[in-house]
Structures are given as C-alpha cells and as structure tokens.
Amino acid sequence: DAGITQSPRHKVTETGTPVTLRCHQTENHRYMYWYRQDPGHGLRLIHYSYGVKDTDKGEVSDGYSVSRSKTEDFLLTLESATSSQTSVYFCATDQGREETQYFGPGTRLLVL
C-alpha cells in the first residue's frame, strides 16, 4: 500500500481563521489530489497537482488554495475558514493514466 499520511487527523477551528492541512506520501507518485467528502455529495475534487509547483483547480476550489514544493508534500489551505468548509478531507495520489488512486486516512475538520 502507498504510504500516505495526513495531518492533523482532527481539527476544530473558528470561522475566519486560516487552516492548513498536510498530505505526505512516500511512494513518489506524480499526481496528488485533495477531496472533500460530505453526506449526499460523495467525493468532490478541490485541487490537484501533476508535479512540483504544478497545480490546478477541481470542481469545488473556491475558498481553498494549495501548494506543492516537494514531490512528497501537498498542502491545502483554507485562507479564512467558514462553517460550510466543515467536512472530511482526503488526500489521494496516483501515477496517472488510469492507475489506482491511494487515499490517506482523512482529516475531520469542524469550523465553528
């Protein structure tokens, strides 16, 4: 299995504060993804990266930014958290070209 870790695993924060979630992989996969999972919506793609410093928006990118300065790390930042961003966030990686995606354990974020 791909080694994918996420930190923190749980976080409670207040509206208006910045939050950064970290994803770390040890498999040297080229592609990395951030999803959010909400009841009734399944998985929705926030941002993804296809290489160091190469990122692009997904379907629900408003209010989120990302950075990838190293192959192994992909950061997701909520610049000013809102209650609508309360969710479970998953990082995933793959080698592209119809390959299997590997998921991290998730970060449960509560914005009060």
Binding site for other proteins (CB under 8 A): 1, 4, 33, 40-43, 45, 48, 58, 90, 92, 94, 96-106
> Considering the complex, what minimum distance in angstroms separates the CB of residue 16 from other proteins?
29
> Considering the complex, what minimum distance in angstroms separates the CB of residue 47 from other proteins?
11
Q: Which is nearer to other proteins, 74 or 104 (CB)?
A: 104
Q: Which is nearer to other proteins, 18 or 31 (CB)?
A: 31
Burial 70-107 (b: 16+ CB within 10 A, else e): ebbebbbebeebeeebbbebbbbbbeeeeeeebbbebb
